[in-house]
Structures are given as structure tokens and as C-alpha cells.
A and B are shown apart, each in its own frame.
Chain A
Amino acid sequence: MSTRPVGSGLPMTLAYVAGLLAIFIGERILGVGTGRNVLTGLGVVLAVGATVWRFTRLRSAAADRRAVESWVLGLYGVGLVALLLYFLQSDVGTALFSGPLSQKTPKLAVVLAALFPALLLCTLLPLALVETASAAMARAPVLETGRARSALYSGLGLAFVVIFSFATMYVATQADVTWDLSYFRTAKPGESTRKVIRGLNEPLQVTLFFPPANEVGEAVAQYFRDLSTESPQFLNVERLDQAVEPARARALGVFNNGTVVLARGDRKEPLTVGLEIDRARGQLQRLDQEVQRRLLAVARPRRVVYFTAGHGERAESRPVPGEAPRPSIGQLKDLLRAQNVDVRSLGVSEGLGSEIPKDAAAVAVVGPTREFLPEELTALNEYANRGGRLWLALEPDGPDFHQLLDPLGLKYLKTPLANDQVYFRTTRQQSDRGNLGTASFSSHPSVTSLSALAGQAPVAFPGAGAMEQMQPLPNGVMQDISVRAHAATYADANGNFTQDASETRRAWPLVVAVEKPSPAGKEPTRAVVMADADALGDGVITNLGNAYLAVDTVRWLTGEEAISGAVSTEEDVPIQHTREQDVAWFYATVFLGPALVLAVGFVKTRRRGRRAPRVAVAAGGER
């Protein structure tokens, strides 16, 4: 047996790998042309040449090296088989079989496409490890076959694991299952909607048009199942497929599935939700709001609320020339229309100078800048005295309305309020201190939803004026300060937005609800006086608290406070902080959390140090 080393086989392996690399560049990077043919041809020649060279080396190898040489040659062979499989499913195969393999036998083409990279991996990984092991024994007089075998098995094991991993990933991707845990829930019936259903005294038909086993249909049906428990005798919910029942669908004005129709007598209110869950998400999150809006339209009589005009009031119209434009109340009116309120304008031409129309459920005076004529004030007073409903939203730069407020026991001081501790920062100027915010509500029916939501729905009052209760109150007048300012608010008499010595802090009334008995047989007079008209302006009314304040005010004024309550919505909300909260969050996240971890670490390591055995005192030291 010869013990003479036969030299390293590494150059052959390098040539073999270079050949494979040339084929890869030719086929995958160049793809077409002469370059591709040259590189691919060169690569094949190198790979086959290295295999032949290895074969001749095996024949001349000493007995101790023969086993390792044969393994390496076997690996070369596997690599060549992989190349053959690749060429069979490439354009070489197309030329051979006079047509692409993917068309002739598609399954075989897929098998070959998956098999050739797997075989290449089974060649290259073990080859690299066997060559590494061989290189370590290059100068050894006798090659330790066991070491090379371990390397071979390691390489094959790694290659198999990688192939298994890719196969697993492929299967997982093909048979993927998804769970959507992001913020999305279909709204549940809110308290207000439940109250409307409870108050039904005639049948209300709800027809859901969805195909069977539709995800959106299931969500909507569940919503109405929850709701129907409130009035099983009057609320009839039926689910139909428009394709199966086209005649009934047509009768309700429905031509596609994905629609809900609420009908009572001749009145029909459709609500289109859609059929695809991804598109219907937004609708489902607001479902309670949308259903309530249609429910009010079909189940309750329409009320008329007049908004006075002609005195610089907030309106949807263009600003008067020469006057600074102020936020309109278009959004407020839209909100009221959604509550089944008929919003109308009331100026001198509509009778404000003589008498308030008989169909007025309430009259709103929102932010006038000019005085009313005495005749107009008289008409409003007469209306109030005969059980009318007044909604006065005043402003410091407008009239004080003492003729209307005196009988209600209120006085508008026209002094702007400010707060240097709790306010909305909008321009980062001192004047921001006039942007009051509060979550201090009473239990009055005109703020039912706000008090139920507690601190979750603060109300913004940008530029409110000071209001005072008269003492003693006029006979029979009952007042409730439904919304108060923060306790640190002061009447900023000189308008410098800084608290001066004469400006005391107190929880000023911002909204006062007044009730006064009327002559026998009449409804009691109701009025809501707000110290700020801006709280109802566009932009601010989109704030949840301001919207609830407006809606509940109208409901109380029109005698529908029984259906007041929060609407259920699952819509995501923007996160808003005050400056102080920003600072608190910063310290909590950047310092407090890490400091706590360090403190725990310090305590744990110190305690362990104390528990550690002390060095034994030398016996001689003992007494």
C-alpha cells in the first residue's frame, strides 16, 4: 500500500465550481447571445473536464485515498446530473423535444426545475466541507477517511435541511392561513339606537340583501340580531338574496346584494354596505351610526330647527363683505340633518320680526355679531314664554342678549375666559390660552352622552366668554350648569392671556340648561345657553365631545332626550396629547422604564452579593 500523498484535489474542485459559475452567469445573467453560448459552453467543458480529471486521479490514487476520491467523484457526478436536468427544461430541451417541456409535460418540467437546484446544493455543500477536511490532512501520511466521511455527512445533512426548509416554506406559502387581528370589529348596537328600537310602537321592517355565507352579511345580521332583542314584536329582520328574490328587492328599490333597507309604511331608507369584507370594513365600523341615522328617519317624526339669520350669525353662507370670515356651521347642520332634523333659516323675511313659525321644534341663535331688532327679541321672548325651545350660543364680541337671558336668570359678561394650565395648543402663542377644554359635565339630560363617556370625550371651547347665574333666580326657573370650565380658568378682562391679581380662577359655567314652567297646558320652556359659538363651528364640531354636546342639546330641546346616549363606533381615533402629557410620556418611556430595569438589576445583584458566603474567619481569631 502506498502512503505517498497524491497532492491536493482542490484545483480540480475549483475548476468544477468555476465551470458551474460560468454556466450560471451565461444562463441567468447574460441570458442570450454569443456571450451566453461561450460562457455556458466553457462552463460545461470545465465541469466535465474536472470530472474526467478527478476520475483519472481516482484510478491512480492510493488505497487509503480511494474512498474519499470516489465520494468526491460521486458528488461531481450529482452536479453533472443537475446540469443535465437544467438543460432538459431549458431551451436545449426545447430544441431536443421540438417544443418547450413546460408545454409538453408541464409536471415533469416543474419537477426538473425544483430538482436541479436541490441536486446542485447536494453537490456543492458537501464538496466544500470534504475539501476543507481533506485540506486539513493534506500533509498527513495516511488520510483519515473517518474525518472526510464526517465532513461529507455534515455537508449532506446541511443540504438536506436547506432543501427541506425551502420545501416547507413553499408548502406554507401555498397553503397559507391568515388571521387579521388588526383594529377591526363590527360595531355593536349603541345605547341610543337601542333606545330608539325600544321606543317603537309600529312595526319596522329591516331587510338584509346578502348572498348565503357572505362574511359581511354575517356581520350585519349579527348586529341586527343583537338589536332585535330590544323590541322583538316590532322589529322584523329578514335576510334575502337579491338574486333569488329580485321582485321583492325591486319593490324596496334594491338592485344589488350588499344592501340593508329599513322600511316603515311608505318610508324606505337604504344602506349600502358592500359584499367584500376588505371594502366594507369602514362601513361596518360605523354601522351603528349609519343604522341610527336611517332609523331616526323612518321611525321618528322629522323636527324643524330654525337658525336665526341676518345678524352676522354663523352660517353656511359666504362672509359679509368687510367682515372677517369666521368658521361656518355647515358641519353642525349636516350633523343635525343626520339626526332627522330639518334645518331651516329664520330671518326677518321668514317671520322673525313678527312671530316664530308654529312648526319650530327649536330656534337656534348661533354667534350673532350684531344686535337683534326689538321686534325680533319680542318674537323670541313670546316664543319662549309659550313653551318654546331656545338654543343660544353667544360670543364675547357679540350682543349680550340681556332681554332674552334676564327671564332665564342668566347674565353674559362678554369677558373672554382663559386658562394657562389646561388649553389646546394650536398656534403656540399666548392666545392659545383662550382655547379652553373641559370634561366637567353634570348629569343633565342635555349632556347624557358626555357624562356617560366621562373623560373620554372632552369638549373644546375656543374663545368662550364669561357667564353668570343671577341671584336670586327668577320665579320657577330651574338651571343646571351642564358644562363647567376647568377650575383654573379666569375671566381675562384685559385680554393679555395672563392671570392678573384681580382675575380669580373658578370653574366658570360654559353651558347652562334652563327650564321654566309655562302657562297651564303648555310644554315647559327649555333653553340651552352656551358661552361660546365657536364650540359649534366647523372643524371643532368634528371633535367627539362637541358633536355629542350638539346632538344631545337638540334632543333635549326637542323633547327627545329619552333616545340620547352614546353611538357605538369601532373607528380608530387619532391620539392627541397636551404638552404636559407629551412630557409625561417622554419621561415614562425614555427614563422610567429603563430606570426600573436598572433598579431591579441593582437589587437582584446586591441581594445575591449579600447571600454569597463570607470568607471564613481564621480559627486563630476566634475567642
Chain B
Amino acid sequence: MKALLIARRELAGYLRTLSGYVVIAVILALNGLFFNAYALGGASKRSAEVLSQFFYYSSGFTIVASVFISMRLLAEERQTGTLPLLYSSPLRDRDIVLGKYLAGLTFLGLYVLCTLYMPLLVMVHGKVSFGHVAAGYLGLLLLGSASLAVGTFGSALARNQLLAAITSAVLLVALILCWLLARITEQPLADVFSAMSLWNQHFPPFQSGLVHVRDIVYYLVVTYVALFAATRVLEARRWR
């Protein structure tokens, strides 16, 4: 409940100023540009292929958006010196982390929702399966959720917003590059790295309209672990 109060306050912070809308608009414009240039451009493609490529590029922009959104979550409080105020309030560390994460996730969800007109445009001339669109968006939300949680962890570690963005980006790139490690290591490590890969192993099925329980569980687990770690980082002030 307390987490929801923080989430409302934080979300209002995003939507109260024009900067939140500018972030969405800029990423949306870039997404649209890639959609036109690569998904639609060139030779005529089948609807499912266009849709798949739309989700491919959107997944990249969702990760980037999550870094931008998460960088301010806790690092901004620390940068402006307001974190002790939060600590002194009757809130548990996990409420603070969860509230801020939920606000970020809602904002990210708004961005993802704003991209909906692109697959709907595919419907004008093509044949679009609503199941495929739903699967793609489920994948985008889960990928965004995991990336945002990792970003929240990065934000909890960093002293300022810039460092938070860099830390989050490094962590996410490391998770994405796990597939490279999977290629050069041997069993059973290869399996472990492959399973840990944030994008290559778990997102492409959503992109082509397939929903695997293992992929959903993976993104939920990454979200949980990252948020747990972020909570522990806040708690670390007691012993560090």
C-alpha cells in the first residue's frame, strides 16, 4: 500500500513536467523512423515479418527507455540529498524500491502503449493476428520490466543520475552479452549463460508470436532478483 503511494507520487513527477512527454516523444519518433526504414522499407514483406521486425526494433528502444526512466529513480534522490528524508519516513526499504519501480513501469507501459499505432497500421494493408500483437507486447512489457528492475538496481548503486545510467547500461549490456559467453564456454556453463541472456534467448519467441512459460518466468525472475538486490543496497547503509 505504501509502495503504491510512492508510485503515485513518483508517477506524478514524470507527468507533471514536459520532460516526461519529451522522452516518450523522442523515443517514439526514433522507433517510428526505424519502423519505416527497416521494418517497412525495401522489398514488400509479409505482415508477420513486418510485425516481427517492429517488435525487434521496439525491444531495443524499450531497453533504452528503461535506462532513461530508471536513472532518476533512486540516484536523483541521492543526488539532491532527499534520500535521508525517505529513510526517515515510516517506510520500509522494499516499499521505497517497489514504489519507485512501479512508477517507472507504469511510465514505461505508457510509452509501450503509445507505439500501438504502428502494428495497427500494418493491419491497413496486411493481415495481422491479434494474438501475435498481444504476444509481442507481452514480451516488450516483460523485457521492459526486467530492464527497468536492473536499472533500478543500477540507480540504487550510483551517486548521481549519469552514473546510474552508465551502471544500468553496463549491467544490461552484460546481461545481453551473456549469449556471447554461452558461445565460447562449454557445458554446463554455456547453458547457464544462455539461460541468463536478456535478449537473444528469451525475446525472439515473443517477436514471432510465441509465448513460452520459460521466457515469462525468466523476465519475472530477473525483475525479482534485481529489485531484491536494489532493496539490499538500500539496506546496506546500516552496515556499510
Please give the residue numbers on chain A whose beta carbons come within 8 Å of chain B beta carbons, in ascending order.
28, 113, 129, 132-133, 136, 146-148, 150-151, 154, 157-158, 161-162, 165-166, 168-169, 172-173, 175-185, 570, 572-577, 581-582, 585-586, 588-591, 593-595, 597-598, 600-602, 604-605, 608
Q: Which residue of B lies closest to A597 (CB)?
A: B25
Beta-carbon contact of B221 and A605 below 8 Å:
no
B225 and chain A: residue at smallest CB distance: A165
Q: Count A-B contacts at CB 8 Å.
A: 179
- Can you give 9 A-B contacts (C-beta < 8 A)? A168-B221, A172-B213, A181-B131, A183-B209, A577-B125, A589-B118, A597-B114, A600-B21, A605-B17
A590 CB to nearest B CB, Å:
4
Residues of B within 8 A of A179 (CB): 135, 210-211
Contact in complex: A594, B127 (CB < 8 Å): no
Q: Report the 10 A-B pairs with minimum CB-CB distance, sorted nearest first.
A: A601-B21, A181-B131, A182-B209, A589-B32, A172-B217, A594-B25, A147-B239, A150-B239, A594-B29, A590-B32
Interface residue tally of chain B, by bracket?
35 or more
B181 close to A (CB within 8 Å): no
Cβ contact within 8 Å between A176 and B214? yes
Docked Cα-Cα span, A555 to B214, in Å, equals: 53
Chain B interface mostly: helix
B33 within 8 A of A: yes
Residues of B within 8 A of A132 (CB): 240
Chain B interface residues (CB < 8 Å from chain A): 15-18, 20-22, 24-26, 28-29, 32-33, 35-36, 40, 44-48, 50, 114-115, 117-118, 121-122, 125-129, 131-132, 134-135, 186, 188-189, 192, 195, 208-214, 217-218, 221-222, 224-225, 228-229, 232, 235-236, 238-240
A593–B32 touching, CB < 8 Å = yes
From A158, A165, A169, A575, contact of B46 by CB (8 A): A575
Q: Which of B47, B117, B122, B209 contacts A180 (CB 8 A)?
A: B209
A178 B212 Cβ-Cβ under 8 A: yes
Closest CB in chain B relative to A575 CB, distance in Å: 5
The dominant DSSP class at the A interface is helix
Distance, CA A161 to CA B231, complexed state (A): 13
* Cβ–Cβ contact B212 & A28, under 8 A: no
Closest to A603 in B: B21
What is the CA–CA distance of A581 and B125 in the complex, to the nearest angstrom?
A: 10
Q: Which B-chain residue is minimally distant from A174 (CB atoms)?
A: B214
B contact residues around A180 at 8 Å (CB): 209-210
B214 touches A169 (CB 8 A): yes
Q: Which A residues are CB-close (under 8 A) to B33?
A: 589-590
Contacts of B189 in A (CB 8 A): 28
B32 partner, pick from A165, A574, A581, A594, beta carbons under 8 A: A594
- Closest chain-A Cβ to B32's Cβ sits at a distance in Å of 4
- Docked complex Cα distance between A168 and B221 (Å): 8
Taking CB atoms, residues of chain A closer than 8 Å to B214 are: 169, 172-173, 176
State how many angstroms separate the Cβ of A178 from the closest Cβ of chain B.
Answer: 5
